[in-house]
């Protein structure tokens, strides 16, 4: 094997076991979507039915190409002047996008850290991006308990929750609790968002996706109150991004039916595969390495030890035939690197375990030299 040849990319799925639709179904949907004078008129209604109790009854949906495109549209809806923004837990690409829009963005780290004093900095936040991934698992109990004590400050202008990919609708369960004075995000155990009144009230939106189960299609959307959706749709039209072909294809696929059953089946498959991957990590990674389930289905975010850079690790790992993608988060201390691992890398099984073992050994070698 050449020392520069990547034999296994830990961040790329090597199987398609959990796709929601087969190749023939997608091809037929593409043909129907190309019929003359077809728009996306039925798509918002179809998405709303799919959402079920995952969003408040009064909310509407707007189709967008990707989850990051959804966040970009929400960011363009506001006039930011260097206000603080935060992500709980860390989402490197979301943070970078916030910074590109001029926000002074930082991560509050793992959602479990909302109990510590760093949360005091939330008082300055004007936009909060909250990623729900992993909360539905037994390991997410601590995160749910911590979030129950958190009240988003009244100065927050918009709060966005990123629902787990392919956990939409029936598989997601009820994600919101209404009360007279607040909307509690992610059900009774979630953070409390003050609704308030007038121009200073917190606006709330959710971003949903079927990206993993419907790759290469326009499979993300924003859910929010009707007046917010109208504003965002106007921005979308002005940018010339409304009515794209991917949205029409998704509309056709969603109308095939039995989607909730397909989502439940795929989610169960991902959960089983992620449990196997987590078991591998517990036996191969040094104690200084942490991880959590990512918003994208079938992926884990591996948090590297402080001081270990992604580029240096990738260079040595490549010599062993493994590659990966990732990013970095900025918490209370120095930036920390994050590696993305797919439970379907190398089609799962022995190849994935071998790659994870090599990665753990490489991290251990770096720590031994430091």
Residue 208 has pLDDT above 80, yes or no: yes
Distance CA 70, CA 87 (A): 15
At 97-151, the pLDDT tens digits run: 888 888 888 776 554 455 554 454 667 778 888 776 655 554 555 555 555 555 6
Name the fold adopted by 8-17+260-369: 3.90.1150
Sheet of 220-224: strand order equals 60-64, 220-224, 203-209, 158-162, 125-131, 84-88, 104-107
Helix, strand, or coil (residue 192): strand
At 187-202, the pLDDT tens digits run: 444 445 544 444 567 7
Q: What is the pTM of this model?
A: 0.76
Give the position of tokens 């189709």: 63
The pLDDT, as a whole number, for residue 193 is: 52
Listed in sequence order, the residues at least 6 apart from 367 whose beta carbon sits closer than 8 Å to its beta carbon are: 286, 288, 305, 308
Residue 167 has pLDDT above 60, yes or no: yes
Distance CA 6, CA 1 (A): 9
Helix, strand, or coil (residue 32): helix
Tokens of 260: 């909730």
Confidence of residue 256 (pLDDT cuts 50, 70, 90): confident
Listed in order, the ranges of the chain carrying CATH 3.40.640.10 are 23-254
Q: What value does the mean pLDDT of the chain take?
A: 76
**Residue 299 φ/ψ, nearest 5 degrees:** -125, 150
How far does the chain reach from its first CA to its final CA, in angstroms? 29
The pLDDT, as a whole number, for residue 111 is: 47
The pLDDT, as a whole number, for residue 177 is: 47
Q: What is the DSSP string of 134-158?
A: TTTSGGGHHHHHHHHT-EE-TT--E
Closest by Cα among 210, 207, 226 to 218? 210
Listed in order, the ranges of the chain carrying CATH 3.90.1150.10 are 8-17+260-369
Distance CA 290, CA 254 (A): 37
The whole-number average pLDDT for the span 334-362 is: 87
Give the alpha-carbon dihedral of 124, 128, 133, 134, to 10 degrees: 30
Q: How does DSSP classify residue 345?
A: B
Architecture of domain 23-254: 3-Layer(aba) Sandwich (3.40)
């Amino acid at each position: 094997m050449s020392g520069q040849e990547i034999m296994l990319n830990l961040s790329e799925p090597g199987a398609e076991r959990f796709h929601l639709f087969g190749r023939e179904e997608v091809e037929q949907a593409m043909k129907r979507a190309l019929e003359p004078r077809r728009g996306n008129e039925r798509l918002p209604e179809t998405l709303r039915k799919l959402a079920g109790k995952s969003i408040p009854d009064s909310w509407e949906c707007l189709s967008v190409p990707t989850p990051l495109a959804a966040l970009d549209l929400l960011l363009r809806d506001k006039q930011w002047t260097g206000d603080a923004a935060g992500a709980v837990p860390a989402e490197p690409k979301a943070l970078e996008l916030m910074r590109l829009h001029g926000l002074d963005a930082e991560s509050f780290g793992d959602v479990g850290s909302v109990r510590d004093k760093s949360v005091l900095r939330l008082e300055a936040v004007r936009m909060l991006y909250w990623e729900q991934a992993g909360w539905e698992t037994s390991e997410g109990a601590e995160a749910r308990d911590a979030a129950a004590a958190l009240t988003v400050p009244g100065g927050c202008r918009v709060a966005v929750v990123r629902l787990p990919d392919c956990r939409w609708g029936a598989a997601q369960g009820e994600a919101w609790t209404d009360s007279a004075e607040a909307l509690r995000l992610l059900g009774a155990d979630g953070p409390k968002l003050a609704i308030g009144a007038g121009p200073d009230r917190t606006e709330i939106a959710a971003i949903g996706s079927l990206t993993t189960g419907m790759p290469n299609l326009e499979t993300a959307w924003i859910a929010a109150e009707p007046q917010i959706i109208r504003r965002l749709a106007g921005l979308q039209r002005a940018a010339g991004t409304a009515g794209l072909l991917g949205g029409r294809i998704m509309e056709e696929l969603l109308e095939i039916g039995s989607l909730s059953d397909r989502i439940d089946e795929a989610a169960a498959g991902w959960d089983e595969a992620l449990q196997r991957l987590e078991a591998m990590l517990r036996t191969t990674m040094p104690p200084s390495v942490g991880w959590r389930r990512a918003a994208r289905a079938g992926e884990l975010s591996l948090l590297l030890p402080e001081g270990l850079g992604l580029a240096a690790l990738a260079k040595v790992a490549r010599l062993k035939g493994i590659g990966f993608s990732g990013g970095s988060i900025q918490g209370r201390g120095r930036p920390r690197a994050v590696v993305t691992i797919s439970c379907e890398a190398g089609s799962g099984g022995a190849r994935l375990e071998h790659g994870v073992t090599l990665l753990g050994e490489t991290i251990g070698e770096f720590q031994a030299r430091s």
